Structure 1
Amino acid sequence: MRRFLLASAVAAIACGSPAFAQDKAERIAAAALEAAPVWDGHNDVPIQLRSRVGNVINDFDFRDTLSTASADHSAMHSDLIRLKQGKVGAQWWSVYVSANLSEPEAVQATIEQIDVTKRLIARYPDDMQLALSADEVEEARAAGRIASLIGMEGGHSIGSSLAVLRQMYDLGARYMTLTHGKTLSWVDSATDAPRHDGLNAFGKDVVREMNRIGMLVDLSHVSEASMMDALDVAQAPVIFSHSGARAVAGHLRNVPDSVLARMPANGGIVMVVALPWFIKEDLRTHSANRAGEEARLKALYPGLPSTVEAQLAKWDAENGEPVATISDMADHIDHIRDVAGIDHIGIGGDYDGMPSGPVGMEDVTGYPALFAELAGRGYSQDDLEKISSRNMMRVLREAEAFAASVSDLPPIEYPAGEPRDDSE
């Protein structure tokens, strides 16, 4: 009996040990990602192809991009080997082009980015498959391929034209971020001076037309007023393809609680970003303080750039930069769950669109570690499957269903060539 009690005590201690808890969390996470691989909301490989190789990819090796480091670029975050290690089963590829381009230039460049994305997918038919619908995502995943969808990052890419929007859909784009870093003639950006207090009349018609054709409305990068206006108009679920919770880190790119509270009624999701400056408040504050110190030094020592550089280096040595971790990203997921609910969370890493992910998630291989962290916090396998991809699948299916229900509605029309100015 004493031996039995001793053995039971030892087993109880082992089960309560940190190592046992970590092993259990990893097993729950692995089971979840096996059943529902990650459907990531935002990856910037296409703009990397443009900036690194000018979209000349016939000899570009996307199986392994670790050798892409150069004097001008660090190594890419994504390739086929690492996407599989990261348990990514579906990927929204961003066809971002600079918001500094004129609208005609942006339209052309976006078409070029759609082209290079499709060509990249076609080069690896055993590993990737273009997906234009929820059913095609399921078909690709059933075949063991990464379902590859196209998302447009910024309304400048439609040149203020609903006709161009519809043609981008026909080319394969299935979401559009309403704007990027600049306020447009019809929508306010989160990181630029507002002009419309949200969306103007044309901007609201953009949302209506996206709903009508089945293109997802992405509210990452837009102002809070624009988020609210879009939610007032939207009749299908919206997404935030790569954003955090503003209550956790105050960057204006993140989603405020006022908007999170509206997610259940809309049915949309916030796909949580990995970008360190968006997920760790201390890091955001440090960056602001450094910018302030640099401005102070330039005001104190005009015409003495070497003095400014030396003094700023001294400040850097005395004020170490905080480090973002997987735990910081998980804190955003916790908060969104608490405010909006488990059905309104996804993952949108922003890999290849930032210098690095947080420690432990520097590239796309880090997703299993994130899901183990969540399992360790008490998320069930069902919860993790919703976050990894099931919520995104539901959103896309609901958007498709709404579009099918209004298929008899005619397109929204505007006279050709008429400017969509701020007065609308």
Structure 2
Amino acid sequence: MTIDAQAQSVHARMRVVDTHDDLLMLCARRPVHLQGAYFRETWLPQLRAGGVDVQVLPVFVADEFRPEGALRQTLRMLETGWRVAAANSDAVRICLTGEDVERALADGLIAIILALEGCEAVGTDVELFEPLFRLGVRIASFTHFGRTMLADGSGEDGTGSRLTGAGIDAVAACESLGIMLDVSHLGAASTDHLLELATRPVIASHSSAYSVRPHHRNLTDARLRGIAETGGTVGINLLATFVDHDDHTVARAVDHVEHVASVVGVEHVGLGPDFIKEVLDEIYGPDEDVLLDGVVASTYIPGLEGPSGLPLITAELIGRGWPEDDIRWVMGGGFSRVLARELGVPGSSGVRRDA
């Protein structure tokens, strides 16, 4: 899909924050000595083409490593992130605080933030968040679709489960350390529970609007408001199956942006695209239908299969008459505001262990 010169120009003036790209999974599949070069050759051009300035890299532990190998695989993937950054120090930098992000951007580098997508590595040993924090983890979601020892994922909504006792302790531990809490993938009741407990801003790194596409991975208006009330931001998921059942278009994706903005304000909307096409193509093959919790995940919005398509979002917002200042919030302003205040900043959590 082509993008006109005006949209390209506007997009180039934006700070673009992508809060979910699974590229670290593919980097970690390479031999150690090839990981840095693979990132430079395969992913860096895409990030630059999309104008990405801040990239959150989640650590996702696949089923083959659970449960016994979860901690080992988490450590491998975190080290891969550091290895990739060291091999590409002229282009990217891992950032541990909001000040680090600003310094990286001032130096012309892409700011990388390490996150956990699911906490299988922790189990009930909540004290492990401290060494994980020392290894660079700055954002954590407690689950993927299924159950961990901290909480249930959205695929388990039928249980109606809130956070476990260890999950309550995990909220306190993360808030105390300066690890931002992420409700994407968290089950409905567990999301409500976490929002009740949180004393610091909560984010959804890659979730869209339930009112636009009713799916358990998306957030109801009440939960959108709950996140905004903490001071947090919602990253709109651009994976086609969560955007619409059938209408897999850029326009439909931007419907989610507009809806969330209408509910909580544009300053609480961002982008968490969930780019996963290359991951699924490599693991399963490009012609294989991949089921994700019963839904075909290997369908993509044309043009938004990867980071290079992000200017299409800017172009669609321009076409709908959005002013440039509002587009700036969506492309990265909202998340930049939260990261500047919260990333890696230790606090004294007021979470009640008996909640």
Q: TM-score range by the shorter chain?
A: 0.7 to 0.9
Task: Give the number of aligned pairs.
Answer: 333
Partner residue in 2 for 1:168 = 132
Partner residue in 2 for 1:351 = 275
Cα deviation for residue 261 of structure 1 reads: 2.1
Q: 1:29 to 1:264 in 2, by over 3 A?
A: farther
Are positions 1:324 and 2:248 aligned together?
A: yes
Q: 1:128 aligns with which of 75, 92, 95?
A: 92
Percent identity, aligned pairs only? Answer: 28
Partner residue in 1 for 2:260 = 336
Secondary structure in structure 2 of the residue aligned to 1:242: coil
Q: How does 1:10-409 map to 2 (within 5 A)?
A: 27=6, 30-31=9-10, 33-51=11-29, 53=30, 55=32, 57=34, 60-65=37-42, 79-99=43-63, 101-192=65-156, 195=159, 197-282=161-246, 324-352=248-276, 355=298, 357-400=300-343, 403-406=345-348
Post-superposition Cα deviations, 1:163-197, rounded to whole Å, max 9, x if no partner, equal 21111111001101110021123311101365562
Cα deviation for residue 62 of structure 1 reads: 2.5
Q: TM (normalized to structure 2)?
A: 0.86
Q: TM (normalized to structure 1)?
A: 0.73
Post-superposition Cα deviations, 1:277-324, rounded to whole Å, max 9, x if no partner, equal 110123xxxxxxxxxxxxxxxxxxxxxxxxxxxxxxxxxxxxxxxx51
Provide the C-alpha distance between the structure 1 equivalents of 2:186 and 2:180, rounded to a whole number of angstroms.
15
Q: 1:260 to 1:29 in 2, by over 3 A?
A: farther
Post-superposition Cα deviations, 1:365-398, rounded to whole Å, max 9, x if no partner, equal 1111111101211221111111111211211233
1:57 and 1:120 in contact (8 A); partners too: no
In structure 2, the gaps of 5 or more residues are 281-297
Provide the C-alpha distance between the structure 1 equivalents of 2:147 and 2:109, rounded to a whole number of angstroms.
37
Q: 1:58 to 1:372 in 2, by over 3 A?
A: closer
2:98 and 2:342 in contact (8 A); partners too: no
In structure 1, the gaps of 5 or more residues are 1-21, 66-78, 283-322, 414-423
2:175 and 2:348 in contact (8 A); partners too: no
Provide the C-alpha distance between the structure 2 equivalents of 1:399 and 1:148, rounded to a whole number of angstroms.
15
2:271 and 2:331 in contact (8 A); partners too: yes
Partner residue in 2 for 1:300 = none
1:40 and 1:92 in contact (8 A); partners too: yes
Cα deviation for residue 57 of structure 1 reads: 2.2
Provide the C-alpha distance between the structure 2 equivalents of 1:327 and 1:262, rounded to a whole number of angstroms.
26
Partner residue in 2 for 1:74 = none
Provide the C-alpha distance between the structure 2 equivalents of 1:122 and 1:326, rounded to a whole number of angstroms.
35
Q: 1:61 to 1:263 in 2, by over 3 A?
A: closer
Cα deviation for residue 200 of structure 1 reads: 2.3
Post-superposition Cα deviations, 1:110-147, rounded to whole Å, max 9, x if no partner, equal 01100011101111111111111111111111111111
Q: Over aligned residue pairs, what C-alpha RMSD do you find?
A: 2.5
Provide the C-alpha distance between the structure 2 equivalents of 1:58 and 1:101, rounded to a whole number of angstroms.
20
Provide the C-alpha distance between the structure 2 equivalents of 1:59 and 1:108, rounded to a whole number of angstroms.
20
Amino acid at match of 1:146: I
Cα deviation for residue 99 of structure 1 reads: 4.8
Amino acid at match of 2:39: F
Q: 1:228 to 1:100 in 2, by over 3 A?
A: farther
Cα deviation for residue 226 of structure 1 reads: 1.0
Cα deviation for residue 406 of structure 1 reads: 2.6
Provide the C-alpha distance between the structure 2 equivalents of 1:177 and 1:96, rounded to a whole number of angstroms.
10
2:117 and 2:141 in contact (8 A); partners too: yes
Provide the C-alpha distance between the structure 2 equivalents of 1:393 and 1:253, rounded to a whole number of angstroms.
24
1:357 and 1:363 in contact (8 A); partners too: no
Cα deviation for residue 263 of structure 1 reads: 2.8
Q: 1:259 to 1:58 in 2, by over 3 A?
A: closer
Q: 1:138 to 1:398 in 2, by over 3 A?
A: closer
Amino acid at match of 2:131: Q
Secondary structure in structure 2 of the residue aligned to 1:350: coil
2:82 and 2:94 in contact (8 A); partners too: yes
2:53 and 2:111 in contact (8 A); partners too: yes
Provide the C-alpha distance between the structure 2 equivalents of 1:86 and 1:40, rounded to a whole number of angstroms.
10
Secondary structure in structure 2 of the residue aligned to 1:387: helix
